[in-house]
Structure 1
Amino acid sequence: MHTTEHRPASLPNRADPSGDARPTPGDDPAATRRQLPPGASHWSRTYYDDQGMQQVAKVSVPVTGQGRIAANEWECPTCGPQSRRWMSATLATAPFCDLHDMEMRKLKPGRNPSVGVTPPWKDIVRAVDHRIRVGAAIAAAGTAGLTVDVVDMPWWGHAAQIAAIPAAISGSWWLTRVWLIREAVRLNNLDPDDEVAGRRERRNIAKRARIAAYCAAAGMSWIEIADLLNIASHPARGVSLIAGLIAAGVIASRPYLNWVDRRRRAKPTPAVAAATAMPDEPPAETPTDDEQLAAYVTGRWNERISAERGPLPGTYLEAIRRTYGGWSAVVVATDESDLDPERFETDKTIGKIARAYGVGVTMVTVTADPLDANRAMILVQRTSPLSEARAWDGTGIDLTTGKAYTASVDDGDRAQHPFWRPGWGAVMELLAGATGSGKSEYLNLLLALERQSGVCVSWVCDPQMGQSLGDIRDGVDWFAPTVEEFLIMLRVAVQVMLARNVLITRMRVKETRPSGEVVERRVKYVEVSADFPLLDITCDEAHIPMNDPDHGKEIVALLALLAKSGRKCNIKVRLITQSPLLTELKNSVLRSQLSSGFVAVFRTADKLTGAACWPGKMPGDPALLPAEWPNGNTAAGVCYMSGQKPLRHRSDYVGDVYDLMHSGETKGLEPAVLGAAGVLYADRHKRLAAFDAMDPAELLGTQIPTLDRPAGQGDPAGGKGGGREAVLEFFADRWNSGDVDPIKFGVIDENVKAVKTRALTNVLNKLVQEQVLANETGPDGKSGWYRLTESGAEHLGVDEVGL
């Protein structure tokens, strides 16, 4: 075992995914085949396929108790049948042959072992090629002799035939010699200007030229003898004469064939040499970097993680691979381990894995396999590809898919952001993260992509008077710097949505039915295009307008309506907020609609924020995402994205957007809905110009209202100074840890330090009224015992953990 504990080595590219012993070349394939693979109950020639249809195999296959295939048979294309082995039917990737480092192929269930064996035709032809040449030469000479014998030539024809014999002999010698010399010169085996060097090559050329002359003499003699014996005129004796000539040719070829056989015995063919070669003693090999890291990873896992007192007892690693800055593998729990799959991803487990390999907690990612509760994927890194920000390369939205590459994944892959889905409609979005986490830069990238696409109309609200987005305001169709303007924007958006509903219901498309009849059918959805653009309504710092005392309720109601009904008419809602809790978004239906689309959670200030808006269980805790890397570089843009790999992502950096937002024309609404948008849409730029011209004193009013509240009034949500959030975080932590039992008021008062005892009573009563908490009678028979309700857990986004 590798003894260095903290120095990582390289990881083997592939490991044996089956865990079974591989048959050696000397093993009997049939005996190996008959060993019942793990997971199979018996051998059977009948089995059920994936569609539930019964199939009959030529050879028995391993099946489960329900009659389904328990394992597939794999074979190396180069090793052949001796490499066949049974592997689990749930294997996701093809195994690799250790000898040839190539993917094995899966055999058809029940394949006959004899099928697919190809005779070594090449070796067979190589062994008899010289005898084939001799036979071909004799047959050619015999055919020529019979042809000359049949032709009735005058005396001078026979004279010319006899005179041609020496010409053929000398010509064969001369042509062979010239051709061989030219080839030797071309291959740099002979220098024509040097009479001394290459003397052995010249002797070989002369010898081969003489052999060609001998062959020509023998062939011409054979032809002349056949003509002189007059074989064609005497059929009765012609057969005997031909047999005698053939026998003479075979006897004459024996010296040549004996010479060929002696050369072959002295120098066997590659196949024979490989079969008869004695195995040499393998030299002592130094372990490669991959082998060293494989030993290191496996050894530490067995010692610290899968041991009896480790966090994942009875587990082992499969498919260990090298990744960017670390390694990845598949964690497998055996039947004897009786391991709860949820323990794969707990903070305690991840912390112990990080300690075992000497990395930070955020550099360990464990993701349960959605198809197998006994397997999980693990990624351990010392350095991350996300440590360096990636600049946006200018690639826009793919109009055929509605997606664009906007982020990098921790394993080196790229991730796509969905703007709309073809045939489905707009994708709602929710971006959450603390100040400085990078969500505003990501918003700049998304708005730049929308402007570049030519099929998106961007309406943006920045309730901080437009300060957050800067040059973005100059490149969008409608910009709202105040809550009042945002309310006007939403009212117009609803009118546009209704107008598009009417227009779509009036559309028809011609279709030819199977009977040949041409009919007009109604249209349910129109794809995003320049004539029917995507209307994207974006609100940065969404909690400000949604909590406005005068217009907040109407804004929340309009956003919920657009989020529920805008998808089919290509209207999407994108909210950016620091906290997506119900205290900020005010509407669980709205949050659910946004969460069902696309969610990006950047670094948060607490554990509740990410879980509250994530669809299901988050792949990690966003509160643990780094604010900066160990080298001092900022980690802005690091986040988790829904619908992607359950790993950390980092958004691309768009940089200066001035040129993007000032080049070309800004896309606006299609003419068909301008009437429904009305004067409020037409005068949007006039109102923005008037806003920019207003004096700050006039804009804010002559009297700034005090932010202090009368003593004893407390926070409107109950409590003061963030006491409500502290109480919710306390109950969420208990729920995540599995403790769902009621807890006494005094215990809550001891643990929640952000709110005083008197204010704590108000907070708890308010949460009970909202059915987030329940006030019950405890074991002591007295009231004042509080617990988090299932609806409260659902609103907090922690319902899947505690149940």
Structure 2
Amino acid sequence: MGTAPAWGFLATAGLWWLLRGRRTGWAPRRWLAAYTLTVAVAGAVWLAWTTTTHGPTRLPLAVLWAGGYALAVPYWRHHHIPNPIGPTPPAPEPDVAPEPPAIAEVHEQLPEVIDLWNKWVACKGGPAEGSQLADRESTADGEKYTVLLPRSGSRVSRRELQNRAYQIAHAMGMSAAQIRIDAHDDGEHLAYLLATLDRETAAASLTYPGPKDCYDPATGITYWGRWPDGERMPWTAFHPERGVFSGVILGGTGAGKSRLVEQLCATWLNTGFVTIWMIDPQDGSSLPTLAEYADWAVVGRDPKRLNAMMRGIDIVGETRTKNNAIARPRRKVHPLSPRTPVLIVVIDECHMIFDPNLVGPEQAAINANTVDRIARSYRKGGMGVLLASQDSGLKVFGGLDTLRANVVNYNSVVMRLTSNIAGGLIPGFGGDAKALPPHGYAYYNGATGSRDIHGRAFDAENDLPRYYREAPRVELETAIRRPLTEQLGTAYTRRHHALDDATTANATNLYGPVPDPSLIAEIAIDDPDLAAGLSQIAAARDVQPFLPDLGQTTTTDRPPAARTTTTGNTLLSAWTRQLGPTATDEPGEDFEPDRQAVDVLAFGAGLAAQARGEDPDEAMAAIRDALTGDATPTFPSGFKSLGTAAGRDIYQAIRDGADTPATIGIRAGYAESTVHRILKALLADKLIRKTRYGRYEANPAA
């Protein structure tokens, strides 16, 4: 027979390997190949030995038996024959357990994210077919996974997965706000899945934690919201060694843009070394709280007021830049401290002050170029600008690409918009602003912490007034205040009254310098708050609001104002005659003011007091006394500040409700310098006290 059987055995072994052996899978493939070759060679050698000698005698059979067992050991180590199954013993009688106590509250079971993903997302035809979830981590309000995307077959890129986040949420039976897809640092074939499972905890984590917890003094970073995994969203505001950084917030109506601006400013003011100038072209309606507490607030689009602030910005920036060179040792960056504070210029709806159709071509160019210098040149002078707009094109930046580049370089927040952002406006931004929900949802793109997913701003609206009241008031340093005063005059020295002045100007334009009291009485029926505001403005002009000179002759021939409501009722004005004598009064006749008119004006004064949080009854009694002469003012004795007529008049003006130097001066009839001198004396005698910066009231204990 020769060696033919041996060669046949080798051929059979090779064929078996090709057809089946390499796919068995019970060991690594290279090891299986070596094992198969060893067995085949050993078998061929035994066959050749047996066929070329005396056949299968005792010795060849013994070698076959021993060698076969030895070569089979590796196989049987991986393949065990199970023991036979014996009869199953009878199950023991179950112990009767006591009934569990009634469950007082049933909690919703958290969804099994992996199970839902495999069944509805990674399945055939799903939004991410063939993907897998791994590396589960618990977050503050949910879970975080690494998504392994398939590299072959139905390929889905990380960017496509982000675009399908809404489909994924729908497939898993969740809301769109519960699912986020974020980029992975190790490659585009990976992604992070952030699933929010505990909505109550997520909502609680969005409560504004307060200014101290939202500012890191070591890095100068301000935190203003959270991403779904609990990480806080940053804003690089200022740094002692690098200066002040600018930024932009884009968001449509209802997106939460203005509230975010006020939240950031509240955090900055509470650091104790920030002062804020602001521009609100919408007459202060966008940023009402900030307008009240800003060091200088320009509301509206009056070119004169805008131009004054633009000149002030250049004065601060140029003077501080020169002072850095004059100082010894020379400084690269303006020092940031309560005595030399940061100046942040906030401009809401900034596209309006850059629009030549709204402010004029010349002023629009001045505004754009000045703001450009803040972002480009004044950073090391301790100045920065925060722009906010509901637009999404280059006109947000006054058409200047240099302004756009310097503002978006460090901080860009994109909230819900009705149109896509113009291409290249914010480099690196890839979110879908049109798909964002309203009320605080936003993307952040900047120097620190940029991510492809959106988060949500803290809810600070209810707490903002308190934090603004508690914030320390700081002013620019003497070296800056002096040139501002010399070059801008009253535009700067009266900056704390800019909001009141603008409000008074608006009221004058709409209702005249002395509104008709009958009109105020009718307005009070429909809108008591508006009537209170008009009464307060008029009270600041004169102690007798809305009244003509009592020595003038007036007539009451016209009928009282009347209005018929939709229900058929006719409303007559309470105003029947002026408080001065009429043409029918006899010359020299003692004049008694009309009590109905007094009541109307007292009502307006009461509304104004109520709007300020004061006692309306006391205000009504005071205005009646002032109008009718029923009471003669009395003053405490023994105080030096009341030794002059000016002191008594100014003190009485404060007791009558005037609370700012401007209104006190108008009511008492004295110059601003005299008012400030008397105020200091009254404060020293503790007859008055400061309620907040620039506001005074009589001390009840005096």
TM-score by length of 1: 0.44
Quick one: which of 347, 369, 388 aligns to 1:576? 388
Paired amino acid for 1:318:
A
The Cα shift of 1:420 comes to 0.9
What CA distance in whole angstroms lies between the structure 1 residues aligned with 2:116 and 2:502? Answer: 65
Aligned residues of 1:305 and 1:312 also touching (Cα < 8 A):
yes
The Cα shift of 1:436 comes to 2.0
Match of 1:637 in 2: 440
The Cα shift of 1:578 comes to 1.0
In the alignment, structure 1 residue 441 sits paired with structure 2 residue 256:
no
What CA distance in whole angstroms lies between the structure 2 residues aligned with 1:689 and 1:300? Answer: 59
What CA distance in whole angstroms lies between the structure 1 residues aligned with 2:147 and 2:390? Answer: 35
Aligned residues of 1:494 and 1:558 also touching (Cα < 8 A):
yes
Paired amino acid for 1:457:
T
What CA distance in whole angstroms lies between the structure 1 residues aligned with 2:291 and 2:367? Answer: 21
What CA distance in whole angstroms lies between the structure 2 residues aligned with 1:335 and 1:660? Answer: 53
Distance 1:661 1:310, change over 3 A: closer
Aligned residues of 1:354 and 1:361 also touching (Cα < 8 A):
yes
**Matched position secondary structure for 2:255:** coil
Distance 1:315 1:675, change over 3 A: same
Match of 2:552 in 1: none
Match of 2:663 in 1: none
Match of 1:684 in 2: 495
Match of 2:686 in 1: none
Paired amino acid for 2:327:
M
Match of 1:252 in 2: none
**Matched position secondary structure for 1:442:** helix
The Cα shift of 1:600 comes to 1.9
What CA distance in whole angstroms lies between the structure 2 residues aligned with 1:433 and 1:617? Answer: 15
The Cα shift of 1:457 comes to 1.4
Counting only pairs closer than 5 Å after superposition, residues 705-720 of structure 1 correspond to structure 2 as: none
Aligned residues of 1:404 and 1:416 also touching (Cα < 8 A):
yes
What CA distance in whole angstroms lies between the structure 1 residues aligned with 2:455 and 2:364? Answer: 34
Aligned residues of 1:474 and 1:662 also touching (Cα < 8 A):
no
In the alignment, structure 1 residue 586 sits paired with structure 2 residue 404:
no
The Cα shift of 1:459 comes to 0.3
How many residue pairs are counted as aligned between the two chains? Answer: 392
Aligned residues of 2:392 and 2:419 also touching (Cα < 8 A):
no
Aligned residues of 2:242 and 2:333 also touching (Cα < 8 A):
yes
Quick one: which of 375, 379, 383 aligns to 1:567? 379
Per-residue CA deviation, residues 334-376 of structure 1 (Å, 9 max, x unaligned), is: 55459464544442x3233223311233432112224422211
Distance 1:394 1:338, change over 3 A: same
Aligned residues of 1:601 and 1:622 also touching (Cα < 8 A):
yes
What CA distance in whole angstroms lies between the structure 2 residues aligned with 1:452 and 1:350? Answer: 39
What CA distance in whole angstroms lies between the structure 1 residues aligned with 2:467 and 2:131? Answer: 53
The Cα shift of 1:504 comes to 1.1
Per-residue CA deviation, residues 615-637 of structure 1 (Å, 9 max, x unaligned), is: 4133x42332334xxxxxxxx22
The Cα shift of 1:495 comes to 2.0
Match of 1:366 in 2: 181
What CA distance in whole angstroms lies between the structure 2 residues aligned with 1:663 and 1:383? Answer: 34
Distance 1:617 1:659, change over 3 A: closer
Match of 1:605 in 2: 418
Distance 1:488 1:640, change over 3 A: same
Greater CA drift, 490-499 or 298-307: 298-307
The Cα shift of 1:682 comes to 3.2
Aligned residues of 1:456 and 1:667 also touching (Cα < 8 A):
yes
Counting only pairs closer than 5 Å after superposition, residues 7-26 of structure 1 correspond to structure 2 as: none
Paired amino acid for 2:350:
A
Match of 2:349 in 1: 541
Counting only pairs closer than 5 Å after superposition, residues 655-670 of structure 1 correspond to structure 2 as: 655-662=462-469, 666-670=473-477
The Cα shift of 1:574 comes to 0.4
What CA distance in whole angstroms lies between the structure 1 residues aligned with 2:120 and 2:289? Answer: 54
Match of 1:315 in 2: 131
In the alignment, structure 1 residue 491 sits paired with structure 2 residue 294:
no
Structure 1 segments unaligned to the other structure (5+ residues): 1-30, 36-282, 284-291, 510-521, 628-635, 703-803
Distance 1:695 1:316, change over 3 A: closer
Match of 1:671 in 2: 478
Distance 1:602 1:338, change over 3 A: same
What CA distance in whole angstroms lies between the structure 2 residues aligned with 1:393 and 1:662? Answer: 13
Match of 1:55 in 2: none
Counting only pairs closer than 5 Å after superposition, residues 174-323 of structure 1 correspond to structure 2 as: 297-307=113-123, 309-323=125-139
Structure 2 segments unaligned to the other structure (5+ residues): 1-26, 32-90, 92-108, 514-702
In the alignment, structure 1 residue 329 sits paired with structure 2 residue 132:
no
Quick one: which of 437, 451, 476 aligns to 1:626? 437
What CA distance in whole angstroms lies between the structure 2 residues aligned with 1:686 and 1:355? Answer: 54
Aligned residues of 1:406 and 1:652 also touching (Cα < 8 A):
no
Per-residue CA deviation, residues 527-571 of structure 1 (Å, 9 max, x unaligned), is: 422233211000112122121431222211211221111222221
Match of 1:653 in 2: 460
Match of 2:369 in 1: 557
Counting only pairs closer than 5 Å after superposition, residues 331-370 of structure 1 correspond to structure 2 as: 331-336=147-152, 339=155, 341-347=157-163, 349-370=164-185
The Cα shift of 1:309 comes to 4.4
Distance 1:462 1:449, change over 3 A: same
The Cα shift of 1:467 comes to 2.5
Quick one: percent identity of the two aligned structures?
24
**Matched position secondary structure for 2:270:** helix
What CA distance in whole angstroms lies between the structure 2 residues aligned with 1:573 and 1:405? Answer: 17
Paired amino acid for 1:502:
K
**Matched position secondary structure for 1:327:** strand
Match of 1:414 in 2: 232
Paired amino acid for 2:260:
Y
In the alignment, structure 1 residue 475 sits paired with structure 2 residue 305:
no
Quick one: which of 340, 348, 353 aligns to 1:532? 340
**Matched position secondary structure for 1:411:** coil
What CA distance in whole angstroms lies between the structure 2 residues aligned with 1:311 and 1:543? Answer: 40
Quick one: which of 259, 272, 277 aligns to 1:454? 272
Match of 2:687 in 1: none
What CA distance in whole angstroms lies between the structure 2 residues aligned with 1:343 and 1:689? Answer: 51
Distance 1:583 1:524, change over 3 A: closer
What CA distance in whole angstroms lies between the structure 1 residues aligned with 2:115 and 2:505? Answer: 71
What CA distance in whole angstroms lies between the structure 2 residues aligned with 1:424 and 1:699? Answer: 48
Paired amino acid for 2:252:
A
Distance 1:699 1:370, change over 3 A: farther
Distance 1:293 1:336, change over 3 A: farther
Counting only pairs closer than 5 Å after superposition, residues 9-88 of structure 1 correspond to structure 2 as: none
The Cα shift of 1:387 comes to 3.7
The Cα shift of 1:390 comes to 0.8
What CA distance in whole angstroms lies between the structure 1 residues aligned with 2:126 and 2:195? Answer: 18
What CA distance in whole angstroms lies between the structure 2 residues aligned with 1:695 and 1:648? Answer: 39
Match of 2:218 in 1: 400
**Matched position secondary structure for 1:608:** coil
Distance 1:614 1:353, change over 3 A: same
Quick one: which of 315, 320, 324 aligns to 1:500? 320
